[in-house]
Structure 1
Amino acid sequence: MEHAAAKTLVCVVGPTAIGKTAVAIQLAQHLQTVILSADSRQFYREMNIGTAKPTPEELAAVPHYFVNSHRLTDLYSAGDFERDALQLLKELFARHDVVLLVGGSGLFVDAVCRGLDDLPQPLPGVRDQLNRLYADKGLPYLQQRLKEVDPLYYQEVDIYNPQRVIRALEVHESTGQPFSHFRKQQRSNRPFQIHKLGLNTDRQNLYQRINARVDAMMDAGLLEEVASLLPYRNLPPLQTVGYAELFEYLDGNCALEEAVDRIKQNTRRYAKRQLTWFRKDPLTQWFEPTDVAEMKAYITGD
Structure 2
Amino acid sequence: MSDSNTTNFINPSTFILLGIPGLEAAHIWISIPFCIMYILAILGNIAILFLVKRDPSLHEPMYYFLCMLAINDLVLSTTIQPKVLSIFWLNSREINFSACLTQMYFIHTVSSIESGIFVAMALDRYVAICHPLRHSTILTNSVVAKISLAVVLRGGVLVFPHPFLARRYPYCRTNIIPHSYCEHIAIVKLACADIQVSSYYSLSVAFFITGLDMFFIAVSYTQILRAIFTCYIPSLFSFLTHRFGQNVALHFHILVANIYIQLPPTLNPIIYGVRTKQIRDTLLRLFSRQGSLSFLVVL
How high is the TM-score relative to the length of structure 1?
Answer: 0.30
If you compute each CA radius of gyration, which structure gives the higher value, 1 or 2? 2
Which one has a larger percent strand, Structure 1 or Structure 2? 1
Which one has a larger percent helix, Structure 1 or Structure 2? 2
